Amino acid sequence: MSTIQTDTLVERDRQNVWHHISPYNEASPPTVFTEAKGAWMTDHKGNKVLDGMSGLWCVNVGYGREELAKAAYDQMIKMTYTPMTQSHQPAIDLAEKLNEYLDDDYMIFYSNSGSDANEVAFKIARQYHQQNGEPSRFKFISRYRAYHGSSMGALSATGQALRKYKYEPLVPGFLHVAPPDSYRRPEGMSVEEFNIQKAQEFEEKIIWEQKETIAGIIMEPLITGGGVIIPHPVYMEKVQEICNKYGVLLIIDEVICGFGRTGKMFGHMHYKVKPDIISMAKGLTSAYLPLSVTAVRKDIYETFKKSEENSHFRHVNTFGGNPAACALALKNLEIMERENLVARSAELGKRLQNELADLNDHPHVGDIRIKGFLMGIEMVEDKETKEPATNERVGKIIAECRAKGLIIGKNGDTVAGYNNILTLSPPLSCTDEDVDFIISTIKDVLNHNTLIRD
Ligand code: PLP
C-alpha cells in the first residue's frame, strides 16, 4: 500500500470516525489496522504488533480463522435470520452446548453485547422477584472499580466514577461496595481476613438498605478492567452465603472471564459458587461477530411461565441470537476444545507467574496478579507507600512495549485514583514463540529502561 493511500486513510478517519473512549489527540491519530493473523496485527504502514490485549480482552482464539468465517458464511446462505421470538438450529445447538459446561441448569437468552446481557440480567432479576411475591426487591449491589457496560443500567452498576459523571443521573437502585483489593489491605491483616471483611460489606449494605429491597449482587469472578483484582476463595464463598441468607440473586458477569480466559471455562468455576444468572459475550464468538448470552437458572425461568397475563419476559432485540453469530460461536467453542485452549490458558498463566516473578524486585512494581492468561501489574511510585504510579510512567511503559511490537493495556483512565495497572490478556492461541516475545518484551522494557526505573 502506498504512503499516499495511508495518509488518506488517517485523514479520512479524522474527518468522519468518532472513536470509542479515546481522547481527541491530533498528535497521535488512531492506528488503522489492515490485517491480522494469530496473535499478530498489521497496521496500515505494514508494522506488525502482537495484540497482548486480544482487542478488548475478546479475540480468544486469535485472528484470521477461516473456519469461523466459513461457519458464519454457510449459515447466512442457509437461513439468514429469524428473530428470537421464533427459533433456529444454531441457537438451539449453542444453548445446549453452553449447558454442557453449566450442568444443564440454565436457560439461554441471546443479545448482542456484554452491556445488553447485563441489562437483561437486571430486568429478569426484577421481574423474577415481582413474580415470586417480593416486588419490593429492585436494588443491585456491585463493586467500586468494576465495569459492567456502557448502557444506562450497566453503567449504573459500574463502579468507575470517571466513566459516569458526565452522564448522570443514572438509573436509581444501584449501590456499590469496596472491592477485595488485597494488595492494599491494612497492615497486619491476613489476605483471608481482609477478604472476609470485604465480603461482609455486602451484608452490611443489604441490612442498611433494608434487605427486602435488594434484588441482586452483580460481580465479575475477578475484577478485570478495573485493575485485575483477584479475590481469595473465601470471599466468593462468603458472597454466596450472603446471597443465600438474604434471598439475593447472584449475577456473575463472565463477559471477560468466560471462555477460558482465567484457566477454566468460566471464571466462577474457580470458586464454590452457583450463579443465579451469568452474562457472557466477548470470547463467546472471539469477537468475530457480536453475540451475548444471559444464562438464567431454570427455576428462575419457571416463574416466567406462570399462567397470569404478562408473566413472560417482555424484552426483545432485533439482532440477538443472530443465526450466523450462533453458528460461529459453536465453531469457536469447537476450536477451543480441539486446541485445549482452556488448559493452555492455565498453563500460560503459570508460565507468566514463573518467568515474570523477578519483576517483583523492580522498584516500581507493587504487585503482579495473574489468573490464567490474564495479568495485571500494579505499578507504584514507591513500594513502601504504594502510591500509584503516575500516568506518565505507566503511559511510557505502554508506549515502549508498543514501539517494540507488543500491545499491552492499562485499566483505562476510568478508575479514580488508580489508573496504574498494566494489563495483559493475549489470545489463548498464542504460540510458545509469541509467549517468549511477550515475556521478553515486558522484561526488557521494565528492566532495561532507566527512565522507567527512575
Ligand atoms: N462486562 C464486563 C466485565 C466488560 O468488561 C464489558 C466490556 O468491556 C462489558 C460487560 C460490556 O460489554 P460490551 O462492551 O460488549 O457491551
pLDDT score recorded for residue 1: 42
How far is the centre of ligand 1, averaged over its atoms, from the C-alpha of 218 (Å)? Answer: 13
What is the position in ligand 1's atom list of the atom closest to the CA of 225?
A: 5
- Residues 49, 72, single domain; the answer is no
119 lines ligand 1 (CB under 6 A): no
Residue at 103 is within a domain: yes
DSSP code, position 81: -
256 lines ligand 1 (CB under 6 A): yes
Residue at 31 is within a domain: yes
pTM (2 decimals)? 0.97
- Residues 275, 383, single domain; the answer is no
CA distances from 198 to 143, 253, 286 (A): 10, 19, 33
- Residues 295, 167, single domain; the answer is yes
- Residues 265, 330, single domain; the answer is yes
pLDDT score recorded for residue 451: 64
- Residues 23, 89, single domain; the answer is no
Q: Give the residue, by CA position, lying nearest to ligand 1 atom 5.
A: 256
- Residues 330, 366, single domain; the answer is no
pLDDT score recorded for residue 4: 46
- Residues 330, 392, single domain; the answer is no
How far is the centre of ligand 1, averaged over its atoms, from the C-alpha of 297 (Å)? Answer: 21
Report the domain count for the chain. Answer: 2
Q: Note whether 64 and 427 are within 8 A (CB).
A: no
CA distances from 234 to 199, 267, 273, 429 (A): 9, 15, 11, 31
pLDDT score recorded for residue 145: 95
Please give the angle made by the CA atoms of 107, 108 and 110, to the nearest 5 degrees. Answer: 155
Q: CATH number, domain at 396? A: 3.90.1150.10
pLDDT score recorded for residue 163: 92
Residue at 4 is within a domain: no
Residue at 3 is within a domain: no
Q: Note whether 198 and 120 are within 8 A (CB).
A: no
- Residues 102, 191, single domain; the answer is yes
pLDDT score recorded for residue 5: 61
pLDDT score recorded for residue 25: 73
pLDDT score recorded for residue 96: 98
Residue at 280 is within a domain: yes
Residue that terminates a domain, selected from 339, 360, 394: 339
Q: Which residue has the cell 500460560?
A: 348
Residue at 350 is within a domain: yes
Spans of the chain below 50 pLDDT: 1-4
- Residues 146, 249, single domain; the answer is yes
- Domain range for 364 is 9-60+341-449
- Residues 13, 56, single domain; the answer is yes
